[in-house]
A and B are shown apart, each in its own frame.
Chain A
Amino acid sequence: MFEIFGIPSQALFGQLLIGLINGSFYAVLSLGLAVIFGMLNIINFSHGAQYMMGAFCAFFLLHYAGLNYWAALVLAPIAVGFTGILVERAFLQWLYKLDHLYGLLLTFGLALIIEGVFRNYFGASGLPYAVPESLQGGINLGFMFLPIYRAWVIGFSLVVCLATWFIIERTRLGGYLRAATENPTLVRSFGINVPRMITLTYGFGVGLAALAGVMAAPIYNVSPQMGADLIIVVFAVVVIGGMGSIMGAIVTGFGLGIIEGLTKVFFPEASNTVIFVIMAIVLLIRPAGLFGRAA
C-alpha cells in the first residue's frame, strides 16, 4: 500500500468514491437548473425548495399512502413537477421578456414561502425516512465499505443525466426546444406550440430537482432546510460549468463532488468554501464558465 501526501491510498480511493456520490446530487440538481436557465432564461432560485418538496413528497407517500421508495421515485417528480407547471403558468410566463432579476426575485421569494410553510407544519428538525429494504446493507470493496444505496444513487444519477443530455442535444424534440429559445416566433410559424413546450420544460427541470430530493431522503435529514443548505453550492456548480450548458452541469457536478471530497480529507474546515474559491478562479479566467459559450 502506498501513500499520497501522508494519506493511505486505500482511504484516498474511498474518499474519491464518496466525492463521486455527492457529485451525483450536484449533477442532477445543477442539470435541472441548467435546463431551466438554458431554455427559459430563468434563474430558478426555488430549485432547493423543490428538491426539499421531492423529499417530503416521498415521506408523505410512505406514511400516508403506504407507497414505497420506488413508487415515490416516479410519483414525487411528477407531483412536484406539476406544481412547477402551475408556478410557470401563474407567474413565470409573464417574466420572460423582462430582466433576469425579476425571475430570480420571484423564485427566491417562492422558495422562502415554501420553506416557511413546511417549517411551520413539520418543524425544523426533520422527519425520518429509511433506506428501501432491497437496497440496505453494503459491499466491502477492500478499500472501503460501500453502502448499496449509495452505489444505486451514483448509477441512477448517471443514467438520468445522460438521458437528459441525449434528449436535449440529440433528439428532434430537443432540437425544437433549442430552436424555440433562439427564435420563438420562427418556430411557432412551423406550427409548434412554443409556450406549452416551455411550460413542460420548466416542469421537467423541477421534476429533476424533486427526483434528487427523493434520492436524498434516505441518506440526508428530510427537513425544510435541506434545500437551502445545498442550493448555493449547486449554483456555484452551474456557474463554474457555464450557465445553461447541459454537459457542463453534469461534468462539473461530478468533478466538484470529488474536489470537495478530497478537501474533506486534507483540510476539512475549508470543505464548504472550496467550491466558491474554484468559482472565483474560474470566473477570473473564463467568465462564461468552463463549458459556457461567451455571449
Chain B
Amino acid sequence: MKRLMITTALALVVSAGTAAAQTTVKIGVLTDMSSLYADLAGPGSVTAARMAANEFMANNKDFKVEIISGDHQNKPDIGSNIANQWYDVEKVDLIVDTPNSGVALAVNEITRNKNKVFINSGAASSDLTGPKCSPNTVHWTYDTWMLANGTGKAIVKTGGDSWFFLTADYAFGHALERDTAAVVEKNGGKVVGKVRHPLNVQDFSSFLLQAQSSKAKVIGLANAGGDTINSVKQAAEFGITKGGQNLAGLLVFASDVNSLGLKNAQGLILTETWYWDLNDGSREWTKRWQKERNAAGKIPSMVQAGVYAGVTHYLKAVAALKSAADGKAVVAKMKEIPTDDPLFGKGTVRADGRKIHDAYLFEVKSEKESKYPGDFYKTRATIPAAEAFRPLKDGSCPLVSG
C-alpha cells in the first residue's frame, strides 16, 4: 500500500512537472489545399511549417508546437470562418501562409481583433503592409510592389516602354496592376490599355487579341497560377511573342514554369525572393522538404520557403517571451530581433510588418540550357534588400505615420 502511494505521488510530481514546463503553441496553416494555388502553397506549406516546428522543438524541449491545417477554397467567407473558429475554439496562436489576397485581407482584420499573429507568405497584395497594415501581421515572402519593382523596372529599362495589362479581376490583380503601372510610368514608360478578366478563365485568346491589337511592346500578366499558365500558353499559340511583343509574367512561380514546360516558358522574366537552386542552404533544405513531403520530384516554391522561415522566426520570438498569448507583443519581438534562417539569410522585419530580404530577377532557361529536372532559372540580377521593397514612408501604413 505504502509503495503504491509513493509511486502515485511520484507519478503526479512527474506529470505536474512536465505540464508546468511545457508551453503549447498552436499554429494553423490556412491555405488553398485543392485549387489553383495548391501546388505553390497547400500541403507543401504544411510540410514547411511542420519542419520549422520540429526543428524548434528539438532545441527547445519545454515547448510543444502543434500544427493544424485548413482549406479556405479561395473564398474570403470560408477563410474568415476557419480563422474565427481556430482562434476562438481551437486556441490557435498563429495563422500562417494564406495565398489569395482576398482571404488574406480578411484574416488580417480578424487577427488584429483577436490579438493573435498572422504571418502571410502566399498572398501578394502590398496593402497588407500599406493602408491595411496591422501590429499583428508580418508579410514575409513577397508583395505586388516588389514584383512590379523587380520585373517592371527591368523590362522598361531594356526598352519595353509601352504596356498592356491582362489583369485578374480581384484584389490581387488590381494591386499588381496598380503597382506595376506606377513603376512603368515612373521609369518613363506608358500604359496603353488593360483588360480585366475573371479569376480562373480557360480561354485567354480574346483578351490576347485585344492586347495584340493595342500594339503595346509588353503585355503584363497581372494574374497568377492557372491563369498565368493559360495566358502564356495561348500567347505562344497566337504568335504574340513571335510578332515582337513580349510577355511579362508579373507573378510566376517555379511550379507554373514546370507545368508550362520550358518550351513555352523560356525567356520569361520574373522576380522571386527564393529559388530552390539558389545556394547550398536552399538545396539542402529542398532535399529535406522533399523527403518530408514524400515527393522526390516536387520543387518547393518561395511561398513554402517563406512559411518555413516565418514560423522559425515566430517561434524564436515566442521562446524569447516564453509565451505566445499576446499577439502584439510577439510581433513586436519579431520586429526587434533580427531574422536569420538558411533560406532567406539575415534580414529584418520592418515597423509596418514587411519582412526585408533580397529579391532576384530570373530568366527562364531554354530546354537546351536546362541540365536537370527543376533547373529552370538563370539569375539576371540580384535586387538588394534595401531596394527590393517599398520604402517605409510610401506605404501609408498608419503604424508608421501615427
Contacts and interface: CB of A to CB of B under 8 A. Distances in A.
Interface of A: 8, 10-11, 14-15, 18-19, 21-22, 116, 119, 123-128, 130-131, 137-138, 144-145, 147, 149-150, 216, 219-223, 225-226, 229-230, 261, 264-265, 268-269, 271-273
Nearest to B169: A269
Interface of B: 34-40, 42, 169, 195-198, 200-203, 205-207, 209-210, 212-213, 225-226, 229-230, 233-234, 237-239, 243, 255-256, 258-261, 263-264, 298
12 contacts: A119-B38, A123-B38, A123-B255, A124-B37, A125-B40, A125-B255, A128-B260, A138-B237, A145-B212, A147-B239, A225-B200, A268-B196
A261 B200 contact: no
Contact of A230 (B202, B206, B213, B259): B202
A119 B40 contact: no
A160 B264 CA distance: 30
A14 B209 contact: yes
B210 to A, nearest CB: 7
Contacts of B36: 124-125, 225
A125 B230 contact: no
A271 B198 contact: yes
Given A124-B37, A128-B263, A138-B239, A265 B206 contact: yes
Contacts of A138: 237-239
Contact of A125 (B169, B239, B259): B259
Given A264-B207, A271-B197, A123 B298 contact: yes
B202 A125 contact: no
B234 A219 contact: yes
A218 to B, nearest CB: 8
Contact of A131 (B212, B225, B237): B237
Contacts of A144: 209
User: Which of B195, B197, B203, B259 is most buried by chain A, counting CB atoms within 10 A of its CB?
Assistant: B203
A225 B226 contact: yes
A123 B297 CA distance: 11
Nearest to B295: A123
Contacts of A124: 34-39, 42
Contacts of A269: 169, 196-198
Nearest to A8: B213
A269 B170 CA distance: 10
Contacts of A119: 34, 38
Given A123-B255, A125-B229, A145-B212, A15 B263 contact: no
Given A11-B213, A268-B196, A126 B226 contact: yes
A185 to B, nearest CB: 44
Contact of B230 (A116, A147, A220): A220
Contacts of A219: 203, 233-234, 237
B302 to A, nearest CB: 14
A128 B259 contact: yes
A130 B34 CA distance: 25
Contacts of B201: 229, 271-272
Contact of B209 (A18, A22, A137, A271): A18
Given A123-B38, A271-B198, A147 B259 contact: no
B205 A225 contact: no
A126 B229 CA distance: 9
Contacts of B233: 219-221
Which 3 residue pairs spanning A and B have beta carbons closest together? A128-B261, A124-B38, A264-B206
A130 B229 contact: no
Contacts of B203: 18, 22, 219-220
Contacts of B200: 225, 229
A216 B202 CA distance: 10
Given A22-B203, A220-B230, A225-B226, A125 B209 contact: no
Nearest to B38: A124
Contacts of A261: 206
Given A127-B259, A131-B237, A271-B201, 20 more contacts: A19-B206, A124-B42, A125-B36, A125-B38, A125-B258, A128-B263, A130-B261, A138-B237, A144-B209, A145-B238, A216-B202, A219-B237, A220-B233, A225-B36, A229-B202, A261-B206, A264-B197, A268-B169, A269-B196, A272-B201
B39 A147 contact: no
Contacts of A15: 206, 209
B239 A268 contact: no
A125 to B, nearest CB: 4
A46 to B, nearest CB: 17
Contact of B259 (A18, A116, A137, A223): A223
B256 to A, nearest CB: 6
Contacts of B259: 123, 125-128, 221-223
Contacts of A150: 205, 237
Contacts of B264: 128
Nearest to B195: A268
B310 to A, nearest CB: 22
Contacts of B258: 125
A91 to B, nearest CB: 24
Contacts of A265: 206, 210
A18 B255 contact: no
Contact of A130 (B37, B209, B239, B263): B263
